[in-house]
């Protein structure tokens, strides 16, 4: 007989407690306890040990292990291949999350439709019926007539169908709708999400099937379910974007088969998502030229350099405490950089409201954009325009020094390729590499030097 036991499980980390608690002692989350009925079956310990013995492998040294080239499946999207590290790895488990309606299902359905022409692909939908999936596929440019579609939420039935069909790629949309019949919790609970992901991971590894699972996100923007979910999978992708803009950003925050922090740009159109081959041109096509408060910065997203416009508006305040608002950068970084301007350059910003925005809806976390933010803020405060063909690269310290940044060659080459005539970089980054012929490279060691070059009358 199965014994039932009621425990309380944290929805943030999955830690269990015998009674309800307001605060999780493991992760610190408040009001995250969920009642779960735990079932324990009286299985024989000897049989479990026998199974472990049968599946044991020989211990080897790293010298004895031969290097095997990981085969990859290339999709029809160059941006999607870039984010995955060069294509889909067979036997990998990929988790993709994003806000509702952002385009997760559309992206995966496009990928499955293109690959189904040459490979056997199984698309498992738990949120839509087969007719709804067909209607969505008919709106895409890709021919999805050869795609295998299955509508089911029972994990055991899904396992049997996968064994019968033997696909090379599986998509499960979404993991919150899948349930294991042996667990009494409702679909989408911590126990169900964890057990379903564990079972899909065994399917992917044992049968060498590339598996994609779609995950919902919470109001904080994190994938719903225990944090353990992101540790179990091989790759974690986040699909970001603004519903008021047509552009979508796909980020890799974890990738066991490639570099992390890679970014792919897509444009949402009537026939689906289209890759944007040159994102820098897209971000700069509507930029303001020769207008106070506008600068161009060069940032790195994974292995790709991007040129993005940073806009600043500094205006006298009507309140006792001036406002500091930032969109696309950290609010604390804005306060820090404005303090550097006040202390080292003598700018009186105590009675000025400051608003900073990164054009295009991109979020910048790299310190190499500090110099561009400093120049944009000073330009707006002085009401003096910066040359639209200048690009700024550099990290700014608390003493006003401009510090070295990584991959300076790629950043400068991207600026030269897009027609910029001058780039201001840290002086410590000059030397050891060849400058492009059609761009002037200027090295500065402090914000004072950078401001003299940027705001110098022409």
- Could you tell me which residues are annotated as the binding site for ATP? 98-105
- Angle, helices 190-207/155-165, rounded to nearest 10 degrees: 10
Q: Any residues with CB less than 8 A from the CB of 240 and at least 6 apart, and which?
A: 98, 99, 102, 248, 249, 250, 251
Residue 307: which of 389, 188, 377 has the closest Cα? 389
When computed from its CA atoms, the radius of gyration of the chain, rounded to whole angstroms, is 26
Q: Any residues with CB less than 8 A from the CB of 207 and at least 6 apart, and which?
A: 162, 163, 166
Q: Where are the alpha helices (DSSP H) in 101-210?
A: 104-115, 130-138, 155-165, 190-207
Residue 172's CB: how many other CB atoms inside 10 A? 26
CA 148 to chain centre: 29
Name the phi and psi angles at 33, rounded to 5: -80, 140
Q: Point out the annotated binding site.
A: 98-105
Place of tokens 């995955």: 84
Q: Are the C-beta atoms of 211 and 93 separated by less than 8 Å? A: yes
- CA-to-CA dists, residue 135 to 109, 110, 127, 211, angstroms: 12, 13, 14, 23
Residue 283's CB: how many other CB atoms inside 10 A? 22
């Amino acid at each position: 007989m199965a014994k039932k036991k009621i425990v309380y499980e944290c929805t943030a980390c999955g830690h269990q407690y015998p009674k309800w608690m307001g605060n999780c002692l493991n992760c610190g989350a408040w009001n995250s306890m969920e009642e779960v009925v735990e079932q324990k079956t009286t299985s024989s310990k000897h049989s479990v040990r026998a199974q472990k013995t049968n599946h044991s492998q020989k211990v080897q040294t790293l010298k004895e292990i031969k290097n095997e080239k990981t085969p990859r499946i290339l999709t029809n999207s160059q941006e999607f291949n870039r984010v995955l590290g060069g294509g889909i790895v067979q036997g990998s488990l990929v988790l993709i999350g994003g806000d509702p309606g952002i385009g997760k299902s559309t992206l995966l359905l496009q990928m499955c439709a293109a690959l189904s022409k040459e490979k056997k692909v199984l698309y498992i939908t738990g949120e839509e019926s087969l007719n709804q999936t067909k209607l969505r596929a008919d709106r895409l440019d890709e021919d999805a007539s050869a795609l295998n579609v299955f509508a089911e939420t029972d994990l055991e039935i899904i396992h049997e169908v996968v064994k019968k069909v033997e696909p090379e790629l599986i998509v499960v949309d979404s993991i919150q709708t899948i349930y294991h019949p042996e667990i009494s919790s409702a679909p989408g609970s911590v126990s169900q999400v964890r057990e379903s992901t564990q079972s899909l991971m065994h399917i992917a590894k044992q049968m060498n099937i590339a598996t994609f699972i779609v995950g919902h996100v919470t109001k904080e923007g994190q994938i719903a379910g225990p944090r353990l979910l992101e540790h179990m999978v091989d790759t974690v992708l986040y699909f970001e974007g603004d519903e008021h803009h047509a552009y979508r950003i796909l980020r890799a925050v974890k990738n066991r088969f490639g570099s992390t922090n890679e970014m792919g740009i897509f444009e949402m159109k009537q026939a689906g998502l289209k890759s944007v081959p040159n994102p820098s041109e897209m971000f700069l096509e509507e930029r303001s030229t020769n207008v106070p408060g506008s600068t161009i910065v060069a940032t790195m997203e994974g292995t790709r350099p991007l040129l993005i416009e940073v806009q600043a508006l500094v205006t006298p305040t009507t309140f006792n405490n001036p406002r500091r608002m930032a969109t696309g950068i950290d609010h604390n970084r804005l306060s820090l950089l404005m303090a550097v301007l006040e202390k080292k350059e003598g700018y009186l910003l105590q009675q000025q409201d400051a608003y900073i925005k990164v054009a295009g809806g991109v979020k910048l976390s790299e310190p190499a954009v500090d110099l561009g933010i400093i120049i944009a803020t000073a330009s707006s405060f002085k009401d003096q325009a910066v040359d639209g063909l200048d690009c700024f690269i550099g990290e700014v310290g608390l003493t006003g020094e401009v510090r070295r940044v990584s991959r300076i060659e790629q950043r400068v080459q991207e600026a030269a390729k897009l027609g910029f005539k001058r780039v201001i970089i840290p002086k410590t980054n000059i030397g050891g590499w060849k400058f492009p012929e059609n761009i002037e490279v200027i090295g500065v060691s402090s914000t004072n030097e950078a401001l003299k070059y940027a705001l110098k009358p022409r």
